[in-house]
Structure 1
């Protein structure tokens, strides 16, 4: 990350650290709850979670999207051009669609842009981050977008439910490991 006192932000820590350090321009991750977007944001990278099924995954897993992590937008667009192809092995794969990933950006005039300043639970954004978000929102508005305040989507019970989901998923995956591989799992994970 830019601030070496912080960590790289989650599940794609290796990809985000590698990309930030210059080890290859193109990185790919999977994202359900932010595993591409959070490390990318914490490391100053481009992280993109496309619509479910735009990039096929084998084996597919409902809710999991593949997405690029790159150091610049041009590299992200290049990667999307080749990854965003249908694949019959993925039941969630979207039908073919010709998307010009390198096209000039469209005007935002008349588009509705959601602005969520309150996450609903967890940590509130730092003042500096909130100011940057508000400045970006004003820029959209100056270019003709209609800002809409989005109320929190998450509350403590939903966050706790997501935590239960991840724990159950991890436990089911641990049970599938043979004894040799299971012995390599850190003791606190078993607890």
Structure 2
């Protein structure tokens, strides 16, 4: 059987059985990288010393190769350049709790993945690292900002990879690459020791992977509070892996069959949602349609308010790096964000917090009758590279770029604001064979329900047999 046919749980089982060693898995990951990466450009750096990296002897992911997204959680002494020339050569001095837990769980982090500059785009290209191509169709985007993470996993370089989500950045590439992409509840995964509750509480760290059982095991590994976290979320009654063997019960399901933004939904995406709703009804769940739970204009106000703080954070970064803010260090759209932020009156942080509080309240009231929501993840299949959604595009104003993004990510950003857990599952394919993701959203703190319903859907409509056009064929002895 090939290395790429195993999920992370499966590889760890082989290690525990003595059928393969962690060192052999690292070498297989490097071989897969050598074969696949020239076609997709997903891994910006495979560590030269990867074969010397150690993790705990044991753990749910004992010996499994892992990749780090180039922003967010840090490894002390390793490059973290955030997809930007402004941060070229930057090496953090702190180990994030996330990567401490990764090592404790047996993961071996062997490299870092590509991403759009500063993680502000849902596309997969940057001036610094070039275009990351979708293994299903090389002329199409993987989505972002966890672009390289998703491309590397679906191509078989590693079975699981670090990702993060501040407005869809786990779920977008999961949808467009045919992966499982969970954005956990706010507070479920600590950002410590120096990035707790990042970006006004909108951003969470987690992974992209290929199976629900890997998602559950990763939740068990990475969840839990640490000193300095601003609050402690309700803790689960049992492990998430144990939830895989628990009954789901009857759920009330709210289905989004209409658009929540200015971009129309592709009919094939709507068909995928309708088909999933029918399947849930066949399983015995109560299904009803829901109206959009919030005003797109309200989401835009939050997005634009956040941008006002962007200029000041860039100035701080430029001083730290000893570089000027210029076309040589930032892409065109980020230069526009910077100029707009400098020239506008800075929003008071209280105004932004109040806007997010209002949205949480209104969305909470609108969807309270339901245990879960069913929505498209993205309104379209994977788009081609370039275009209006890339920060390398100089044609749009900053406001026009934000408006275009709000329309494309219409089902995603709202749940970063509310803090609810949401997962994209690869439940359908287009006529062209492109993945279509369907999003399941649960109540705040209720990842357990997401694990159980995701398991049910994976069992009913398995996706493991689907294969992209670029896939590393590496034999696992």
TM-score (norm 1): 0.87
Residue 11 of structure 1 and its aligned partner are, at CA, apart by 1.4
Per the TM alignment, residue 154 of structure 1 is displaced from its structure 2 partner at its CA by: 4.1
Residues 53-68 of structure 1 mapped to structure 2, 5 A cutoff: 53-58=187-192, 59-60=195-196, 61=198, 62-68=201-207
Is contact 1:115–1:149 with CA below 8 Å preserved after alignment? Answer: yes
Structure 1 residue 66 displacement after superposition? 2.2
* Residues 1:25 and 1:100: Cα distance change in structure 2 (over 3 Å): same
Whole-Å separation in 2 of the counterparts to 1:11 and 1:57: 18
Q: 5 Å matches for 1:22-171?
A: 22-58=156-192, 59-60=195-196, 61=198, 62-94=201-233, 96-103=235-242, 104=244, 106-171=246-311
Whole-angstrom CA distance in 1 between matches of 2:294 and 2:139: 28
- Secondary structure in 2 matching 1:48: strand
**Greater length-normalized contact order (CA 8 Å, ≥ 6 residues apart):** 2
Which residue pairs with 1:186 in the alignment? Answer: 331
**Residues of 2 paired with 1:186 and 1:127: CA distance?**
34
For 1:163 and 1:73, the matched residues in 2 are separated by 32
Q: Secondary structure at the match of 2:230?
A: coil
1:7: Cα distance to partner?
A: 0.9
- Three-state SS of the structure 1 residue aligned to 2:208 is strand
Which structure is larger by alpha-carbon Rg, 1 or 2? 2
TM-score when scaled to structure 2? 0.37
| SS of the residue 1:136 aligns to | helix
Report the Cα distance in structure 1 between the residues aligned to 2:157 and 2:232, rounded to whole angstroms: 30
- Counterpart CA distance in 2 for 1:185 and 1:121 is 29
Instruction: Indicate the residue corresponding to 2:155 in structure 1.
Output: 21
Question: Structure 1: which 5+ residue stretches go unaligned?
Answer: none
Write out per-residue CA displacement over residues 146-190 of structure 1, whole angstroms, 9 at most, x where no aligned residue. 112121134341242243144224323212122416442224421
Q: Measure how far apart 1:70 and its partner are.
A: 0.7
Shift of 1:87: 1.2
Structure 2 residue ranges without an equivalent (≥5): 1-133, 337-477
1:188 and 1:50 map into 2 onto residues whose CA distance is 29
Q: Does the 8 Å CA contact 1:86/1:96 hold for their aligned counterparts?
A: no
Deviation at residue 95 of structure 1 after TM alignment: 5.0
Is the deviation greater in 168-177 or in 93-102? 93-102
State whether residues 119 and 154 of structure 1, in contact with CA within 8 Å, keep that contact through their aligned partners in structure 2.
Answer: no
Cα separation, 2, equivalents of 1:81 and 1:158: 35
- Contact kept? 1:9, 1:39, Cα under 8 Å: yes
Residues 17 and 122 of structure 1, relative CA distance in 2, 3 Å threshold:
farther
Equivalents in 1 of 2:203, 2:333: separation in Å?
Answer: 26
Distance in 2 (CA, whole Å) between partners of 1:154 and 1:99 is: 33
1:111 positional shift: 0.9
